[in-house]
Chain A
Amino acid sequence: MTLDKPLDYKHFAKRETFGSDFIDMRAEVGLLTRNIVFRGDPETSFTNQYGATLFLHSTGDDSLQCRLSYIELTDVGQAFKLGRYAIHFHMIGAVHKSYAKGLATHQGFNRAFTIHGTHYLTLEDNVAFGIKGHTVFIEDAVETKNNIKNNLIMMTMRSWSLLNTDQTPACFWITNPYNNFINNHCGGSDRYAYWYDL
């Protein structure tokens, strides 16, 4: 990667050594663009905080498959409307064959990845930037065995148009502890990175 102008803000890039141990504090780098774009209306979405949404629902275990990989989602989510999230898995049960991998989600007005009544979902290698409200959101506390790996979530912002908890948002809002979180990165959240709210 080559930069064509100086950066506006400090971006620290160093691994500091303390005795025989170290802490790696290098700046995060994520790619926000993809060739295939799912987006809200570019002219009105931001003004109205009203963008595109994906809603997935079907009755019973493994009754649907959602396989999303390497697409871009922008101007997504609809503020003031519960349930209108960028991607919403709604009351499906087990989804062994479903995944969202390598997505780039940015400028979201109403959360980003919502897992509601859904188990065994894979969320992997996603980048999310500038989302209002909890960014990865495990809704009801019954959700278990979802695998959430290698995601980069940056700049999660407060939302005044969702529930109270979204005024103190987290990159990962975890209501059931029996889910797996491996090698995720969260930076610049307004309040929390990983919030086990039990």
Chain B
Amino acid sequence: MGPSANTAICPENMKVGKFLNNHAHSCGRYGLRIFHNMIPRKFPCKPVWKDWSEEKKDDPYWKNPAITATFEGLVSWKNNRNGAIAKRVGDVRFVNFKVADNVLAGIEFAETAWYGDDTTQINGALIIGKTSNTEAKLDKGSPRGIITPRSEGFLV
């Protein structure tokens, strides 16, 4: 906790800025790592509240709706674990990622949270196991394309 810490700021649940066309390669662990929680929503410091009533069944989260976070165009290759990993996320989408030669997995999501079906997504990814740039150690492991979360509501 730094000197700016106060209860009015909840970074885990804040709107996510632009993440566009970034490149990552040859890193010891992950190209992109989203750690602990990322559950962006309209009122970050208030809980997610699901309205179970019949008349709100099309928009059950209307009291504190999600703000979609789009990570777009990451190019991530030759990392010692994954091209990208997310620990526990809500309405977070990886769009048009290109990943190759990663030792553990191309893209991994560990867990989804809160915002219903199909809000956590991977769209339009190019996932390559091996290229001509690969190293011998990739043959010793058994890399995966996508490691999917252990919870529901995930869409590829």
Chain A residues engaging chain B, CB cutoff 8 angstroms: 12, 14, 16, 18, 21, 23-25, 91, 116-117, 139-142, 144-145, 168, 170-171, 175-198
Contacts and interface: CB of A to CB of B under 8 A. Distances in A.
A83 to B, nearest CB: 11
Given A25-B100, A141-B2, A145-B17, A195 B35 contact: yes
Contacts, number: 152
B46 interface: no
Most chain-A Cβ atoms within 10 A of its Cβ — which of B17, B35, B69?
Answer: B17
Nearest to B135: A10
B27 A193 contact: yes
A196 B17 contact: no
Given A178-B17, A179-B17, A196 B22 contact: no
Interface centre among B23, B30, B35, by most chain A C-beta atoms within 10 angstroms, is B23
Interface string B52-77: 00000000000000000100000111
A140 B76 contact: no
B20 A182 contact: yes
Contact of A139 (B2, B24, B28, B131): B2
Bin chain B's interface residue count: 35 or more
Interface string B103-128: 00000000000000000000000101
Given A141-B4, A189-B27, A190-B28, A18 B126 contact: yes
A173 B19 CA distance: 14
B3 A193 contact: no
B69 A185 contact: no
Interface string B1-37: 0111100010110111111111111111111111111
A23 B128 contact: yes
